Structure 1
Amino acid sequence: MSESIENECKNTNAEQKTPPISATSTTESKDQDSSGQKRDADELPPSPKRTKTGDDKKPLDLAVTFGFKEGDRLEVQWEIENDDGENEVHWWGASLLKHDGRTEDSVAIRQLLYDEYQDFEPSKEDVIFIGPDELASPDSQNQMKFRREGQEEVTFYNEENLENTLNGILMSAMNKNKSSWSSLPPAQQAVIAEKIALKKNSLISALKNHDGVITSDTINDVMKTAFA
């Protein structure tokens, strides 16, 4: 990504410590010359692991494996520092470019063309698909969450605050259904409350085994079950 992006934004990763403001994101200090200045991509020497595929062996292209093709629109989760010095999550739009033949350890290196955003100009970034919703930088090994453009936002929680967060979301959903809830007799309200509690406990157990992912569909499922 361009120099301004490298200096001002960094990838969100649950396991990654928050670096200082001057830290880079998907490319690291090895992309600098001896004076410490950032070098353009065209000036960088090729990685010894990156090779053009000149034989009959076809590299493993996980983007294709997961159903993505050239031109598909993606959104990658980044943290961007705002004018107040605080980090804000931004799902950055990008287009998947045609594979240019480069590989790393027989796995295809793909390129994303990121959209222009605020003061950041469009830029290309190397990535490796490592899951249906996760990318990695071949340079820094940073991992990034992504989604198809237009998909709902997915929120990731750790085990410590999962239950409290889920309780808050369920209470918010209950408030939105306040009129329906108030019209029910107390006995039926008690039955529904018990259903929600049981569903919530099952949901917490399931989320602990699936990276703590909560989507709007998850909450809708809880509410539909409760009010069925």
Structure 2
Amino acid sequence: MAFEYEDIRKSQEIFACLLENHELSEDESADLFDAYTTSEAVQSLTKSQGDALDADIEQYGDTIYLIPREDNSFLGYSKAQLKRELCRSDATDRDYYLSQFAILTLLTMFYDGQGVTAHTRDFIRAGELQNTISERLKEGVERYDEERQEESGIAFTNIAEAYEKLKSDERGSRARTTKEGFLYYILKFLERQGLIEYIEQDDMIKTTKKMDHFMDWNLLNKNNYQRVLAVFNELDDPQSYKTKKTTREKNK
């Protein structure tokens, strides 16, 4: 298929903007946004450039995003890079999985996967997030044996051990060896990615439009997130656990 020079040029401008900012909004770049959304040729050319760099280009509402695919360490983060960002210098895999558990906990507190928009809360407190992480790990270890942990995809025992090694500091220490510091650096990382707003003086966490778009249009459609959400809902609902436990015992 032959493309017009103007379409090629416009797609390059769009992709350059996406490379620089990872997003392109209608408010800030109306001309480029209009070119992408109204021209099939421009959209196809732009997406092909994303493919070349192992990334997807998706429009969610009034914003176009450049989304690195899994294991794309050029535009995104490898596991090792993410571990360095989120954990202390001598972190183990358990520490890394604890950081992922903390992020999943935050997501499930804001988004329940129901309705037109899954966003259910305007904000949460960092202290509430820390307490929820502790409670869910405790419940997970008590309720899930090794076999069920493997089935759920969440190694509660290993993650809880990593969490318990962190000290507690009511003064709000930012040392990565404390629970408060561990959580602080995760929140600051998410803020740098434009996914949350962390208002430290109010101990308040808010999601951004970018995060809402990703959750409503992308992540909530993933089977893995739905599986985690189901596990967390069970941990938060004692009656659900009792019912499932009784059912499993009857089936033995």
- Tell which has more relative contact order, 1 or 2 (C-alpha 8 A, sep 6+): 1
Answer whether TM exceeds 0.5 for this pair.
Answer: no
Which structure shows the bigger proportion of residues in strand conformation? 1
Instruction: Decide which structure has the larger Cα Rg and report it.
Output: 1
Which structure shows the bigger proportion of residues in helix conformation? 2
